[in-house]
Amino acid sequence: MKFLIIEDEKPNASRLKKIVEQIDPSFEVVHILDTVTGAVTWFKQNQHPEIVLMDIRLADGLSFDIFSQVKINSAVIFTTAYDEYALQAFKVNGIDYLLKPIEKEELEAAINKVKVSPISAATDPNLNELLKFIKQKDARYRTRFLFPYKDGYKTITVSDIDLIYSEDKNTHMILQNGGLQMASQTLEELEEQLDPEQFFRANRQYIININSIESLHNHFNGKLKVVIRNQYQHEILISKEKAPLFKQWLDR
């Protein structure tokens, strides 16, 4: 069997490849991709493998966008770190949904399921239900956060957050009034909880509120530099690969 891995975290991709090869030495990982754009191009130019191991959050968007641009003649096993998607709802033939970190036994069971019922994503009736459900889940985003404060609690509305950044494994929110709030969630968790119409994951360190952007500048090698109001000490760069998506996000 041939496999394609679509995963934007290199350690996770390497681990998946290793597990696949451990399950059966005859299994072959033909390629590893990390973007929606790259995956669409690859599917258009190459013979599709039996199985695709597909992360949901990629460097340039949700992997579900791939399906609207190309017909995938492979069985798809989704992998993700986000358990708010209903794992149990989609333990169905042809498509499986595994939570990270992926365990060998789980992946082997999913592969065996495909062997028994090798339904491709192009013809699997469950795929549309999965995509529909994910969109419904993504439609419910946070509007506020509750934090301990003195002898009680305080709330911070999402619209009051200018910038979120990670530093020394801690997550910080910079507020419109200049205040700083530490959050317990990781950037990955917050990216899932915040409305993508309002917030953008600029890179591995920053999430930006669209209303906090003061200016945008061209940078070296096709990158973009984002200036956030009153936060000049934070140099926020958008990669060349992500720049078109960022400009599209702004130009709505």
Residue 245 has pLDDT above 90, yes or no: no
pTM beyond 0.75: the answer is no
Residues 122 and 65 in one domain: yes
Q: Which domain holds residue 176?
A: 145-250
Residues 10 and 75 in one domain: yes
- Pairwise pLDDT comparison (92 vs 3), residue with the higher score: 3
Q: Which of 138, 162, 186 is the last residue of a domain?
A: 138
Residues 240 and 160 in one domain: yes
Quick check: 216 and 227 in contact, CB under 8 A? Answer: yes
Please write the tens of the pLDDT for every residue from 166-221. 998 899 999 988 899 999 999 988 988 888 889 999 999 999 999 999 999 999 99
Measured N-to-C along each axis, helices 104-116 and 10-23 cross at an angle, to the nearest 10 degrees, of: 60
What is the reported pLDDT for 113?
A: 85
The Cα diameter of the chain in Å comes to 62
Residues 25 and 56 in one domain: yes
As a whole-number percent, the residues of the chain with pLDDT over 90 amount to 46
Provide the CATH number for the domain around residue 240.
2.40.50.40
Residues 129 and 215 in one domain: no
Residues 243 and 160 in one domain: yes
Mean local confidence (pLDDT), 82-92: 45
Name which of 18-32, 199-213, 221-235 the model is least confident about: 221-235
Residues 31 and 57 in one domain: yes
Q: pLDDT-based confidence at 18, cuts 50/70/90? A: very high
Q: Which of 114, 138, 162 is the last residue of a domain?
A: 138
Most confident of 28-32, 54-58, 232-236: 28-32
Residues 52 and 93 in one domain: yes
Cα separation, 232 vs 213, whole angstroms: 11
Q: Which of 138, 158, 176 is the last residue of a domain?
A: 138
Please write the tens of the pLDDT for every residue from 99-153. 777 889 989 998 998 888 777 777 776 676 666 666 555 556 888 999 988 888 8
Residues 159 and 106 in one domain: no
What is the reported pLDDT for 162?
A: 94
Cα separation, 93 vs 124, whole angstroms: 8
Residues 12 and 127 in one domain: yes
Residues 192 and 241 in one domain: yes
What is the reported pLDDT for 135?
A: 58
185's CB contacts (< 8 A; 6+ apart) are 171, 193
Provide the CATH number for the domain around residue 110.
3.40.50.2300
Residues 238 and 197 in one domain: yes
Q: pLDDT-based confidence at 93, cuts 50/70/90? A: very low
Question: Mean pLDDT in the chain?
Answer: 85
* One-character DSSP codes across 184-232: SS-HHHHHHHS-TTTEEE-SSSEEEEGGGEEEEEE-GGG-EEEEETT-T
Q: pLDDT-based confidence at 88, cuts 50/70/90? A: very low
How many domains does the chain contain in total? 2
Please write the tens of the pLDDT for every residue from 141-156. 888 999 988 888 899 9
Quick check: 102 and 19 in contact, CB under 8 A? Answer: yes
